[in-house]
């Protein structure tokens, strides 16, 4: 067990094995990151479809929520009561679509662990050997951090520094040497961490962080449009301020993370545009509005409705469905008939004379 085991370790280990498999197919760190990102984004399509559908549906509730907030702005308890009523009667779910965002965060932190420690996570070189190599570099007066340790080890192995190479087995040295020859992507060392500096040797490292922030803004803007929701005030500010959080990561994590994030944003933008055709927010908004209007019309006529869970015939998913009181009574009657049929199924084939004899006995 890894002595540095933590949440990043748990998330990074399986992703490290995926990266190893891709690297064995194409031994180029940059292209491996790109392929890895595309694979992860493709696997997340079902979750993103669900998010797109939920966000498009929730956009129909925005005018209703705005009316409630305006009407009861001085009565927070009443406002909360009306919002709860909206959830119970019309199926409004403020947390709908949060799961894909959570999964994206978990994958992101897993990727950070992989690019922090590529020698351990991708090539499975033991922590003891890595630590011993770090001690050897310290003895040589080479300064490094946990983030830059692997980069410095690779550099010393490629330079043939005996005190560092002596801690590794021949197979490990071959692995590190080969990786050191394939970790550049268009001349950019993906194991290095960008700095807030315009120094000549740091300028190439700024390319991917800048692209990461730009693609994040574009992706966020398109995602907001595709959802059909009109975000205002602090929510809108939060959505556009999120890229600043990623700026921090881009300048504290090796460039490989920035490349991952650039590709992730591009792929997600394409997916969003495609899914917008599947779940058009305007069409879904009109559909939900029609459902709400129908339910309110029934309520005015005194017809109560009930929310039940049913299985969608097309997708097989369990979804919530609103049915009227009369429909509910029909379902109950049908269920009672099925129960009776099951209970007396053996007696249907028995002659009436025998049933009469059983009653007399």
HSE value, Cβ hemisphere, 13 Å, CA-based, for 182:
17
Q: Is the pLDDT of residue 235 over 60?
A: no
Q: Using an 8 Å Cβ cutoff, are 153 and 164 in contact?
A: yes
Q: Span 221-241, mean pLDDT?
A: 63
Mean confidence (pLDDT) of the chain: 79
CA 301 to chain centroid, in Å, comes to 44
pLDDT digits (tens, 9 = 90+) for 139-149: 999 988 888 89
Contact between 288 and 233 under an 8 Å Cβ cutoff? The reply is no
Q: What confidence category does residue 36 fall into, taking pLDDT thresholds of 50, 70 and 90?
A: very high
- The pLDDT, as a whole number, for residue 133 is 93
- Structure tokens given for 51: 């998010």
Asked whether residue 26 carries a pLDDT value surpassing 80, the answer given is yes
110 neighbors 8 (Cβ within 8 angstroms): yes
Higher pLDDT, 75 or 40: 40
Whether 136 and 167 have beta carbons less than 8 Å apart is answered as: yes
Whether 45 shows a pLDDT value over 70: the answer reads: yes
Mean pLDDT, residues 206-212 = 91
Tokens of 31: 């292209």
Mean pLDDT, residues 116-137 taken together: 92
Question: Is 232's pLDDT higher than 70?
Answer: no
Residues with Cβ < 8 Å from 226, sequence gap 6 or more? 52, 56, 272, 273, 275, 276, 281
pLDDT of residue 245: 73
Rounded distance, CA 296 to CA 316, Å? 29
Look at residue 8 and tell me whether its pLDDT is greater than 80. no
Model confidence at 88, pLDDT cuts 50, 70, 90, reads low
pLDDT value of residue 156: 93
Q: What is the DSSP string of 259-307?
A: HHHHHHHHHHHHHHHHHHHHS-HHHHHHHHHHHHHHHHHHHHTT--EEE
DSSP one-letter string for 208-275:
HHHHHHHHHHHHHHHHHHHHT----HHHHHHHHHHHHHHHHHHTTS-HHHHHHHHHHHHHHHHHHHHH
Range 300-316 average pLDDT: 62
Convert the pLDDT of each residue in 258-293 to its tens digit: 999 999 999 988 888 887 777 676 777 777 777 777
Residue 323 in 3-state DSSP? strand
On the question of pLDDT at 234 being above 60, the answer is: no
pLDDT in tens, 321-346: 666 656 666 776 676 677 766 766 66
| 43-52, 157-166, 206-215: the lowest-pLDDT one | 43-52
pLDDT at 101: 73
Residue percentage of the chain with pLDDT more than 70: 70
Q: What is the DSSP letter of 311?
A: E
* 3-class state of residue 84 by DSSP: helix
According to the per-residue pLDDT averaged within each range, which of 87-96, 104-113, 151-160 is highest? Answer: 151-160
More confident call, 319 vs 132: 132
Query: pLDDT by residue (tens digit) across 246-258?
Result: 778 888 889 999 9
Q: What is the pLDDT of residue 28?
A: 93
Between 243 and 27, the higher pLDDT residue = 27
Residue bearing tokens 């002595």: 3
Summarize the confidence of residues 75-93 as an average pLDDT.
74
Q: Is the dihedral of CA 239, 244, 245, 246 positive or negative?
A: positive
Res 3: pLDDT: 45
Give yes or no for a contact between 307 and 91, defined as CB atoms under 8 angstroms apart.
Answer: yes
CA 34 to chain CA mean position, Å: 18
Closest C-alpha to 50, from 91, 87, 97: 97
User: What percent of the chain lies above the pLDDT cut of 90?
Assistant: 28
> Looking at residue 75, what is its pLDDT?
79
pLDDT of residue 186 exceeding 80: yes
pLDDT over 50 (residue 1): no
pLDDT score, position 213: 86
């Amino acid at each position: 067990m890894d002595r540095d085991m933590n949440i990043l370790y748990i998330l990074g280990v399986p992703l490290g094995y995926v990266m190893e498999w891709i690297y064995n197919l194409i031994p180029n760190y940059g292209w491996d990151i790109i392929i890895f990102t595309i694979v992860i984004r493709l696997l997340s399509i079902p979750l993103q479809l669900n998010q797109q559908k939920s966000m498009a549906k929730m956009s129909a509730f925005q005018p209703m929520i705005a009316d409630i907030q305006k009407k009861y702005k001085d009565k927070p308890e009443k406002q909360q009561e009306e919002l709860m009523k909206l959830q119970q009667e019309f199926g409004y779910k403020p947390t709908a679509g949060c799961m894909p965002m959570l999964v994206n965060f978990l994958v992101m932190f897993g990727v950070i662990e992989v690019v922090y420690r590529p020698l351990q996570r991708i090539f499975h070189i033991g922590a003891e050997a890595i630590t011993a190599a770090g001690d050897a570099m310290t003895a040589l007066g080479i300064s490094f951090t946990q983030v830059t340790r692997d980069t410095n080890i690779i550099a010393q192995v490629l330079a043939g520094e005996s005190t560092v190479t002596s801690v590794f087995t021949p197979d490990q040295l071959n692995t590190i040497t080969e990786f050191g020859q394939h970790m550049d992507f268009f001349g950019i060392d993906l194991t290095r961490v960008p700095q807030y500096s315009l120094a000549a040797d740091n300028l190439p490292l700024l390319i991917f962080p800048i692209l990461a922030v730009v693609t994040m803004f574009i992706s966020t803007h398109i995602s907001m449009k595709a959802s059909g929701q009109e975000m205002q005030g602090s929510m809108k500010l939060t959505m556009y301020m999120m890229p600043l959080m990623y700026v921090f990561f881009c300048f504290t994590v090796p460039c490989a993370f920035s490349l991952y994030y650039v590709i992730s944003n591009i792929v997600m933008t394409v997916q969003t545009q495609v899914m917008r055709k599947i779940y058009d927010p305007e069409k879904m908004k009109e559909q939900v509005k029609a459902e709400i209007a129908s339910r309110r019309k029934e309520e005015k006529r005194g017809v109560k409705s009930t929310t039940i869970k049913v299985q969608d015939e097309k997708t097989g998913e369990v979804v919530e469905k609103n049915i009227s009181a009369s429909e509910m009574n029909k379902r109950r009657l049908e269920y009672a008939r099925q129960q009776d049929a099951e209970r007396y199924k053996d007696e249907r084939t028995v002659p009436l004379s025998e049933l009469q004899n059983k009653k007399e006995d």
